[in-house]
Amino acid sequence: MKVRTLIIGAGAGASYFLVGLERARETGDLTGVPLARHLKYYRPEDIEVIGLVDVEVTKVGSTARSIASKLVPGVDPPKDLDGLVVQRGLHCGSLKGLPVKAMGLEEVLGSVQEAFDQFIALLDELRPDVVVNAITTEPLRYAETEEEFASKASSCQGGATMAYAYAVAEHSRRSGRHVAFINLTPPPIANSPGVVSYYARIGSLVLGDDAATGATPLTADILEHMAERERRVLSIAQFNIGGNSDFLSLVEPERNYSKEITKGAMVKDILGYDAPHYIKPTGYLEPLGDRKFVAMHIEYEGFGGFRDEIAVSARINDKSNLAGLIASVIPVAKGLVDRGISGTHATANRFFMKLPGPKDLRITSKIVAYYDLLEELRRLDLAT
């Protein structure tokens, strides 16, 4: 059974995903898709991408194939992607300050209200089961109540991510279709109580926030390893440097900030105390491209007061990571919606996200989250 999927943000993550999905279909190779061997009913192969949305002027109207040919190195994208043309979405200032030219529906139409109407009409036409938000990282804005969500989102003042979440909710509410909105970016959607309760009320689901890619999941699991041995972690330093637009956009402190709070909560929740840490995307170095360089250093004390140290140097393709995660979270989300789950789903968020909602949820290591999720999916007859 197909999972009709709309992707918002025609960037590298979406491109790696689209190219990799075709490759996976052809070869049957699901390497890099978490849970792939366990999923049933809905599986990665069932994903059908029915739409792609962006606001960059160079992308709107282009095919997924031409975009992928620029963003996915060393790959000749499949011809099928010629049929997927980028449609214009909502801007809400999300790319302000970055060196790209953007034009959202509200800018073309001259009216935010009309922009929402038109975007919801697009949703009505596409009838997605799952909407994946993979736009550029925006500054953080919360919605405590449903009213705040509706008013901030519908006026574009909550940013593009919130606007899309709202449009999808409106489509769901009006049509009675239950939809999953998956927020892979840091702005709080699953962490906004107003969004979660709105979605709960209409029988739809948000998963989020901030897809757990890169080195942070590994750091989480290394910290779990320390915690289980009751080691006292004295300091944690983790640097990231990359050469794609993510790192370029993080040079703006406001966008970077949203990355920081995620890590502090992780350290405290897994270790049980707030070990001194410095975990941040650090810089931009163009030749690295999507294969970022990560350096980590952890010093800790063991039994008898002796000190050990671990240093990690890694080269990690964040976009390949993200694409594999997308291929897993889409069928999971569709399955959860089918089983009647609405609002948000802490267990799925804990595994797939860096800042799992709902708000103030205790973070666990990824290994723990994985087994909790697998058990839950088995209980729901969604996994073997």
What residues from 222 to 241 belong to the interface with a copy of itself (CB under 8 A)?
A: 222, 224-225, 228-232, 234-235, 237, 239, 241
Burial status of residue 305 (CB atoms within 10 A of its CB: 0-12, 13-18, 19 or more): exposed
Q: Which is nearer to a copy of itself, 100 or 295 (CB)?
A: 295
Q: Does 253 bind a copy of itself (CB under 8 A)?
A: no
Q: Does 362 bind a copy of itself (CB under 8 A)?
A: no
Q: Does 47 bind a copy of itself (CB under 8 A)?
A: no
Site for a copy of itself (CB under 8 A): which residue of 185, 321, 344, 347?
Answer: 321
- How far apart are CB 243 and a copy of itself at their closest, in Å? 8
Q: Does 254 bind a copy of itself (CB under 8 A)?
A: no
The full length of the chain comes to 384
Separation between Cα atoms, residue 338 and residue 174, nearest integer Å: 19
Q: Does 218 bind a copy of itself (CB under 8 A)?
A: yes
Residue 158, beta-bridge partner list: none
Cα atoms in the Cβ-side hemisphere of radius 13 Å centred on 265: 17
Q: Does 200 bind a copy of itself (CB under 8 A)?
A: no
Site for a copy of itself (CB under 8 A): which residue of 124, 147, 274, 286?
Answer: 286
Cα atoms in the Cβ-side hemisphere of radius 13 Å centred on 301: 5
Amino acid identity at 27: T
Site for a copy of itself (CB under 8 A): which residue of 3, 7, 33, 337?
Answer: 33
Angle at 106 between CA 183 and CA 167, to 5 degrees: 35
Helices of type H across the chain: 12-27, 64-71, 105-109, 112-126, 146-154, 159-175, 193-202, 216-228, 245-250, 253-271, 318-338, 346-352, 366-379
Separation between Cα atoms, residue 330 and residue 131, nearest integer Å: 9
**Rule CB under 8 A: which of 133-152 touch a copy of itself?**
none
Separation between Cα atoms, residue 36 and residue 383, nearest integer Å: 9
Q: Does 310 bind a copy of itself (CB under 8 A)?
A: yes
Q: Does 364 bind a copy of itself (CB under 8 A)?
A: no
Terminal CA-to-CA distance of the chain, rounded, Å? 18
Q: Does 76 bind a copy of itself (CB under 8 A)?
A: no
Site for a copy of itself (CB under 8 A): which residue of 82, 340, 371, 375?
Answer: 371
Identify which range of 145-153, 263-271, 299-307, 337-345 contacts a copy of itself by CB under 8 A: 299-307
Site for a copy of itself (CB under 8 A): which residue of 61, 264, 302, 340?
Answer: 302
Cα atoms in the Cβ-side hemisphere of radius 13 Å centred on 192: 29
Q: Does 35 bind a copy of itself (CB under 8 A)?
A: yes
**Rule CB under 8 A: which of 257-276 touch a copy of itself?**
276
The count of chain residues that interact with a copy of itself, using the rule CB under 8 A, is 76
Separation between Cα atoms, residue 210 and residue 87, nearest integer Å: 24
Site for a copy of itself (CB under 8 A): which residue of 10, 12, 30, 67?
Answer: 30
Site for a copy of itself (CB under 8 A): which residue of 365, 377, 382, 383?
Answer: 365
- How far apart are CB 358 and a copy of itself at their closest, in Å? 24
**Rule CB under 8 A: which of 10-29 touch a copy of itself?**
16, 19-20, 23-24
Q: Does 306 bind a copy of itself (CB under 8 A)?
A: yes
Site for a copy of itself (CB under 8 A): which residue of 79, 176, 313, 360?
Answer: 313
Q: Are 242 and 285 in contact (CB under 8 A)?
A: yes
In 197-231, which positions are buried (b, 16+ CB within 10 angstroms) versus exposed (e)? bbbbebbbbbbbbbbbbbbbbbbbbbbbebbeeeb
